[in-house]
């Protein structure tokens, strides 16, 4: 009887409890008709790993502590305890199975482009598709516990080592398309990228198959990106210093001669001071405390930086509105509590916008990265700003809104130039026609003053922001945009000095002529 039971056990139990080797899981799943990635994620939890397979790490980790694994010498994974707790679900055990391995990128079949977008029945928008070459043809697979892990507040950290000849790179994950079995595409949704001399560092809010796409065809290489970063930091630091001096000058002018225009200039200068200060603070904290920066701190810094940018742009628009009242609505322009109403708009509108964005949780670590366009560029710079996956919010508030402000203020500057041309006799007035073609020294001097006025007004109205269009055209455009806008605080200082000198000149001499330069400067400050 015992012999019979023993033989029955040998025949029955092996057919029900044989566990597959981890060496054959990938090939077995690739032969399936359904999603091979799902098959792979399921089987690596129960397969038996051989010691010979060094690029496959299967380990039990404590879910209350941060876990770390290195399937190869070029790849490393760090998973926070919060992600491990989320992966174990309702299990009472403290230990969680963590599996990390490296797979060849040749097994990942790219779906046709028509699969990326809205479905046939107007389904939801899929994550943006990224193009490029997989770094080292290596894909890092990370699986923990029994549950899928996504939307993490503390991201996982993945490290991909590279050689110094590699160009710019973008951290991506594999997004499978349901319409095409076993196919998908690379997406950066939920991932941020940073790079140093030896490795790419990815921070993602989910577990999946990860890789780094490199595209050396970008027109701005790493050296230019570093130069632009230094220019931005130095320019912003100078702007902070000179905006403080400008505020002192404006306060002195306002005390001597209270004028509404000077009050508007003070508000704009204050907004620029907040903008450059918050930018430097955001960039410094995100760089210096990249591994230990609390998520709520970075969200708060991004909130303040976004508010400062919107406030600066709004006050530039109000400068254009004030100029409109002076030059177009010349008569009957008295507005009760004018500066108070402008302040409600200049500071209230940005506050309302960032409050809505804060509720939508759009702020966090941001890494400038290639987003499907070979003419945009990566950078080693990271900052607390609008997260990479909130592209729509970024475009509306930091692209569409500035374009609208620049368009309106450009029209106002055109009116200023037209008024100057009329006062110079450009309309063919009889009183100036006899002397129009005889440029004496006095006229040349006034012409230079008119040009200086136009250039100064361009900076006050924020027209250098229009060079953002040039950043998509050439490298020179990127440098011009970076230099001019990082130094806007310096230009505001020069404008305040010019107004101060003009005020002293007016106090020491009587008004003898009505030249165009005097009319434009005096009118803009009344």
Q: Which pLDDT tens digits describe the chain residue by residue (526 residues)?
A: 555 544 444 444 444 444 678 878 888 888 876 678 888 888 888 888 766 566 788 888 888 888 999 988 889 999 998 888 888 777 777 888 899 999 988 888 887 764 433 333 334 455 667 777 888 888 999 988 888 888 888 889 999 988 766 667 888 998 887 655 667 888 888 888 888 778 889 999 888 899 988 864 444 556 777 788 889 999 999 999 999 999 999 999 888 877 888 999 999 999 999 999 999 988 887 766 655 555 778 889 899 999 999 999 999 999 999 988 887 776 556 788 899 999 999 999 999 999 999 998 888 877 664 443 333 333 445 678 888 777 788 889 988 999 999 999 999 898 888 887 877 665 444 444 444 445 566 676 777 777 878 888 888 999 888 888 777 677 788 889 999 999 999 999 999 998 888 767 666 554 444 444 444 444 444 4
Q: Determine the Cα–Cα distance for residues 225 and 479; give it in Å rounded to an integer.
A: 10
In sequence order, the 6+-apart residues with CB closer than 8 A to the CB of 441 are: none
By residue count, the chain amounts to: 526
Structure tokens at 63: 């879910």
* Closest to 174 in 3D by CA, of 197, 195, 204, 216: 204
Q: What is the DSSP code (8-state) at residue 396?
A: I
Which stretches of 289-374 are DSSP H helices?
295-327, 338-359
Residues of each domain in the chain carrying CATH 1.20.1070.10: 222-427+439-524
- Phi, psi torsion values for 456, nearest 5 degrees: -65, -45
Give residue for tokens 């990326």.
116
Strands 183-187 and 109-110: parallel
Q: Determine the Cα–Cα distance for residues 188 and 171; give it in Å rounded to an integer.
A: 6
Residue 201, classified by CB atoms within 10 Å of its CB into exposed (0-12), middle (13-18) or buried (19+), is: buried
Residues of each domain in the chain carrying CATH 2.60.220: 19-214
Q: Domain spanning 19-214 has what CATH number?
A: 2.60.220
In sequence order, the 6+-apart residues with CB closer than 8 A to the CB of 240 are: 273, 276, 277, 280, 489
Quote the pLDDT of residue 365: 77
CATH architecture of the domain with residue range 222-427+439-524: Up-down Bundle (1.20)
* Closest to 455 in 3D by CA, of 422, 411, 494, 408: 494
Q: Determine the Cα–Cα distance for residues 29 and 34; give it in Å rounded to an integer.
A: 9
- In what helix (H) or strand (E) does residue 266 lie, and over which residues does it extend? helix 260-288
Quote the pLDDT of residue 199: 87
In sequence order, the 6+-apart residues with CB closer than 8 A to the CB of 51 are: none
Q: Determine the Cα–Cα distance for residues 105 and 383; give it in Å rounded to an integer.
A: 31
Q: Determine the Cα–Cα distance for residues 351 and 331; give it in Å rounded to an integer.
A: 33
Structure tokens at 113: 């482009």
Q: Determine the Cα–Cα distance for residues 492 and 246; give it in Å rounded to an integer.
A: 7
Sheet holding 156-161, edge to edge: 67-72, 75-79, 156-161, 199-204, 191-195
Measure CA of the first residue to CA of the last residue in the chain; give whole Å. Answer: 112
Q: Determine the Cα–Cα distance for residues 459 and 406; give it in Å rounded to an integer.
A: 11
Q: What is the pTM of this model?
A: 0.60
């Amino acid at each position: 009887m015992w012999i019979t039971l023993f033989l029955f056990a040998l025949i029955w139990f092996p057919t029900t409890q044989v566990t597959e080797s981890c060496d054959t899981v990938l090939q077995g799943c690739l032969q399936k008709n359904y999603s091979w990635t799902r098959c792979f994620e399921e089987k690596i939890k129960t397969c038996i790993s051989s010691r010979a397979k060094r690029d496959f790490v299967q380990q039990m980790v404590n879910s209350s502590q941060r876990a770390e694994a290195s399937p190869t010498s070029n790849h490393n994974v760090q998973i926070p305890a919060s992600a491990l707790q989320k992966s174990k679900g309702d299990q009472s055990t403290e230990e969680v199975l963590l599996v990390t391995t490296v797979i060849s990128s040749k097994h990942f079949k790219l779906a046709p482009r028509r699969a990326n977008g809205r479905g046939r029945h107007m389904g939801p928008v899929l994550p943006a598709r990224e193009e490029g070459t997989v770094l080292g043809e290596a894909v890092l697979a990370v699986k923990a516990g029994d549950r899928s892990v996504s939307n993490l507040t503390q991201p996982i950290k993945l490290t991909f080592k590279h050689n110094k000849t590699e160009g710019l790179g973008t951290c991506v994950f594999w997004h499978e398309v349901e319409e095409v079995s076993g196919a998908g595409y690379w997406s950066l949704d939920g991932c941020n990228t940073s790079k140093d001399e030896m490795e790419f560092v990815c921070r993602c809010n989910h577990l999946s198959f990860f890789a780094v796409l490199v595209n050396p065809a970008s027109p701005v290489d790493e050296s230019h990106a570093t130069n632009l970063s230094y220019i931005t930091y130095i320019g912003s630091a100078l702007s902070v210093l000179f905006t403080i001096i400008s505020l002192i000058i404006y306060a002195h002018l306002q005390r001597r001669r209270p004028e509404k225009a000077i009050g508007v200039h003070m508000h704009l200068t204050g907004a620029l001071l907040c903008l450059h200060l918050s930018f430097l603070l955001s960039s410094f904290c995100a760089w210096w405390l990249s591994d230990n920066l609390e998520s709520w701190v970075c969200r708060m810094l991004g909130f303040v930086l976004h508010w400062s940018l919107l406030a600066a742009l709004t006050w530039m628009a109000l400068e254009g509105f004030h100029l409109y009242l002076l030059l177009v609505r010349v008569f009957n322009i008295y507005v009760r509590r004018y500066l108070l109403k402008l302040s409600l708009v200049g500071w209230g509108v940005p506050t309302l916008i960032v409050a809505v964005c804060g509720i939508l949780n759009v702020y966090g670590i941001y890494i400038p990265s290639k987003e499907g366009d070979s003419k945009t560029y990566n950078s080693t710079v990271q900052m607390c700003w609008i997260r990479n996956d909130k592209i729509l919010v970024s475009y509306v508030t930091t692209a569409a809104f500035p374009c609208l402000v620049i368009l309106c203020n450009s029209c106002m500057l055109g009116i200023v130039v037209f008024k100057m041309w009329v006062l110079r006799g450009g309309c063919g007035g009889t009183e100036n026609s006899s002397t129009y073609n005889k440029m004496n020294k006095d006229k040349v001097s006034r012409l230079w003053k008119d040009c200086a006025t136009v250039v100064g007004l361009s900076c006050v109205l924020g027209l250098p922001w229009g060079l953002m269009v040039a950043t998509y055209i050439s490298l020179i455009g990127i440098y011009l945009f970076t230099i001019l806008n990082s130094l806007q605080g310096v230009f505001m200082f020069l404008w305040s000095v010019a107004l101060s000198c003009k005020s002293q000149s007016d106090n020491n001499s009587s008004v003898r002529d009505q030249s165009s330069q005097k009319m434009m400067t005096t009118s803009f400050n009344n």
